[in-house]
Each structure stands twice: as C-alpha cells, then as structure tokens.
Amino acid sequence: PVLLFVAAPYIRRYVAGGRCKSTARLEGKVVIITGANTGIGKETARDLAQRGKCSARVIIACRDIAKAEAAASEIRAETGNQQVIVKKLDLADTKSIREFAEKFLAEEKELHILINNAGVMLCPYSKTADGFEMHLGVNHLGHFLLTFLLLERLKQSAPARIVNVSSLAHHGGRIRFHDLHGEKCYNRGLAYCHSKLANVLFTRELARRLQGKFQRQAGFTANALHPGSVYSELVRHSFVMTWLWKIFSFFLKTPCEGAQTSIYCAVAEELDSVTGQYFSDCQPAYVSPRGRDDETAKKLWSVSCELLGIQWD
C-alpha cells in the first residue's frame, strides 16, 4: 500500500499521456464538434471555446438537445464565450445529417475545423434509420456523409482541418465487404473495431484525394487519432465494461486527458501541412497493416458512396 501510494502520482502521469501544448488562438474561427455534450467531445469544445480574446464559434452537434444545451451552458459560463451553439444532429439518420448540413450552410459562411468525434460502442445488434449496422452507420457512414456535405465550405474557408476520432481498436478491425451490416455474423466488440478501422481508412483516402496544389497552398488537412482509454459514457451499452471501467478508473484517462490529442490535431501549428496521419498522445502512432491498405480504403470509399447514394469524386 505504501509503494502504491508513492507510485500513484507517477502512474497517473503515465496514464494521462501527452498534452497539447499549443497556444494557438482561434479568433474568428468556426468549429463543429459532433457528440460534444459529454466526454472528450465536451472537453474539446471547452478548450477550443476559450482560445483567444474573441473566441471561436463552437457548434456542438448532438442528438440529445437537452444534454447538449446543458453542456453548452456550462462551457459558456466557464469560458465567457457566448458563441457556443447547439445544433441537432442524429448520425444514425441521414435525413437528420442532411438537415443539419443544410441549416449550417444557410447560417454560416465559414467552417475551419470539423471534428468527427461522436461514436457508439458495444451496441446490441441494431440498425440506423437507413438500415446500416449501428456502429458502421454512426461511427463511419454518418461522419462520411457529414464531411461530404460540408467539404466545399471547408475548402472555401481554408486553411481548414478535418479531425476523425478513431481508436487503437482499429487494430482488431477488418472491412467485411461481404457482410458490412453484420447480418450473417455479429459481435458487438468486433463491430466497434471494424468501424474504427473504417475511420482510419476514410481519413487516409480523404487525405489522398485532397492532396495536390490546393491542399499544399491552403493547408487543408485530414487526420485521425486514438484518444486513449477514457473514463466516459462510451461503454454504457455494456454492463460488464461499465463495471470494469468503474473499478479501474484510476488507470483510465479523464475526459480532459482523453481530449488532448483531438485538440492537438485541431490546433497545433506544426500540423499545418500534415495530413493523412494517425496520432495518439499528441504524437504520430502506429497504424495497423489493414489501416494502411490503400486498395481497401478506395473500395470502402466507393461502397460508402453507394450506400449513401452520393457521388464523391
């Protein structure tokens, strides 16, 4: 017990991982963060809302408006930034995604940072409003469509950044094109891993398509990240994981600690021209061989467009 007491601060420091040290200011910038009513999304919004005397306009895009309004009110009170705005967005429904994008484009003339943060984990088998398996539909296809709908506004506002929150779990994923929606075989843990691999492959292919004269001159980038093992509501669909999370909370990152790499990818000056990369603890991290498979990334892009009924060349 004495040794544990002495070692505790060092253990916590190790668990906390890297911190974003950038002091970049975001005056006049417009930011969208999906799922920012709780967890690392909320902490990311809190940080970005207080960067600069005349701070960024931070749009919290969430399904649960009541929780989002409570989070926004707390952030406004703490930071003094009255431009923390809540907008309705249900990533499990493409109609909601399209309505969100339509309203945003009508109301906002610029968009500088898009953080695709929202996600579901360990859900019992279910489908989105459009018939997609829930993990794939929310974690990948929902953000794929949202990014597609907002891409031109991001280009017009460049320099701009797209930040996709993936996970170390992508190492356990594979893109099962023969059974994308888990109708033949479903495992909730693997379904999450598959969707997080999709995040990495989407980022890789998006960055490849953005490369060229425009991207180099304008600083338009797309990167993915692993936030770490964070004590949050993400495991709420699993009683066992919720129980384990509570027991081992000392060895998990706090939401604030887990948000650091998202913040880093959104603001760090040294990433102005870095794109298509994967980060953890505010530094480049190893990507699984499946996450570096360009042919799978291209095929996933094509299949995603088909499923969503869009053309994205």
Which residues are known to be catalytic?
Answer: 192
Question: ω into residue 9 within 30 of 0, thus cis?
Answer: no
Asked if residues 237 and 122 have their Cβ atoms less than 8 Å apart, the reply is: yes
Residue closest to 116 by CA, chosen among 226, 40, 192, 35: 35
Structure tokens at 286: 């190893």
SS3 57: strand
3-state helix, strand, coil in the chain (%, to 5): 55, 15, 35
Element (H, E) at 149: helix 143-157
Q: Tokens representing 7?
A: 């070692």
**φ/ψ bin of 39: left (φ > 0), alpha (ψ from -120 to 50), beta (otherwise):** left
Instruction: Give the span between the Cα atoms of 96 and 237, in whole angstroms.
Output: 23
